[in-house]
Amino acid sequence: MNTNSSSETPKGDRIAKVLARAGIASRREAERMIEAGRVRVNGEQILSPALNVTEADEITLDGNPVSEPEPPRMWLYHKPTGLVSTDRDEKDRGTIYDDLPDDMPRVMSIGRLDLNSEGLLLLTNDGGIKRKLELPATGWLRRYRARVNGRPTDEMLEPLRQGITVDGERFQPMTVTLDRQQGANAWLTIGLREGKNREIRRAMDHVGLSVNRLIRISYGPFQLGELKSGGVEEIRRKIVRDQMGITLEDDSGTALKKKKPTGVKRSPRRKTGEFGGPGQPAAPGHVSKRPAKPSKGTRGQPKTRG
């Protein structure tokens, strides 16, 4: 355990960071575990996360040794509707973690999608990656397909492109394009960089449109593509390294498709007449019908569509 005086630069990393890297919990959750007295370093109980440790220190949680940290990893996950993006839900609703394959390591979601939204969620085993990608300063573009009830016009959508204030909260300008009108509904493609709570639904309601389906199709350079609902696919470690600006001892990992466990509850099938039904066109959420071509120098990297 590090005992350097305050005048010296502490060696190692903060204990909560080490626990998060080991896949135990997020850094915040790890801090709560420490404060609850569940963590020992070299046999000594610690009650404050203000401690640096090195590889020479022995760390236990509830008496069990903490394993060596795994290399940073990321996954693409196609979240179905009807699941929440939290570890636990006070209303006892199903979570995305109930839906993941049994052989997945402990992961955290990067950002969230609400209960009735679907599409791309990024997952990671590394708290540092999660924090970095959720920072507003990172500013990765998130693109969505939204089905709205109403007949949107450019005049209605222009305030969204300029930025609006809803219930005292300022929303930054969005990119909004009208793809097509289909009866009483219309499909829009929307891009934003902030992702505040229910931002698209609230913004659309503000201009007189009601969202009845919302699909995230990309997050920065990563695309939903043809990943099926409930599907999980690991991102190549080399891409994780390149995108995050980190060094990996082993970046040979490949994109691994995981099989779904049996017994997982699914959302009800779409009624006949909706997108994807018999004799109907494909859902607009699945706009990437061709594998993404690798960009120069980042083979296998998904590319954001324009």
- pLDDT, tens only, 78-135: 999 999 998 877 888 899 999 999 888 888 899 899 999 999 999 998 878 888 888 8
114 in active site: yes
- Cα angle at 131 between 55 and 137, to 5 degrees? 135
Assigned token pair, 69: 């940290």
Pick the CATH number of 13-65 from 1.10.357.10, 3.10.290.10, 3.40.1260.10, 3.90.76.10: 3.10.290.10
Q: Which pLDDT does position 128 carry in this prediction? A: 80
Q: Does residue 15 surpass a pLDDT of 50?
A: yes
**pLDDT tens column, 170-218:** 999 999 999 999 999 999 999 998 878 899 999 999 999 999 999 999 9
Q: Which of 5-9, 24-28, 100-104, 253-257 holds the top average pLDDT?
A: 100-104
Q: Which pLDDT does position 9 carry in this prediction? A: 61
AA letter at 109: S
When pLDDT is cut at 50, 70 and 90, the band that residue 286 belongs to is very low
Lowest pLDDT segment from 14-18, 77-81, 136-140, 283-287: 283-287
The CATH 3.30.2350.10 domain(s) of the chain lie at 74-258
> Angle of helix 154-162 relative to helix 199-206, nearest 10 degrees?
130
- Cα dihedral across residues 42, 43, 48, 49: positive or negative: positive
pTM, 2 dp: 0.68
Catalytic-role residue among 57, 87, 114, 179: 114
Q: Does residue 283 surpass a pLDDT of 60?
A: no
When pLDDT is cut at 50, 70 and 90, the band that residue 252 belongs to is very low
- Cα angle at 67 between 59 and 135, to 5 degrees? 90
The CATH 3.10.290.10 domain(s) of the chain lie at 13-65
Q: Which pLDDT does position 185 carry in this prediction? A: 97
Tell me which of 104 and 258 has the higher pLDDT: 104
Q: Residue 256 CB: number of other CB atoms within 10 A?
A: 13
Mean pLDDT of the 145-173 span: 95
Q: What fold, for 74-258? A: Pseudouridine synthase (3.30.2350)
Adjacency order of strands within the sheet including 64-65 = 44-45, 39-41, 59-61, 64-65
Q: Which pLDDT does position 202 carry in this prediction? A: 96
DSSP state of 245: T
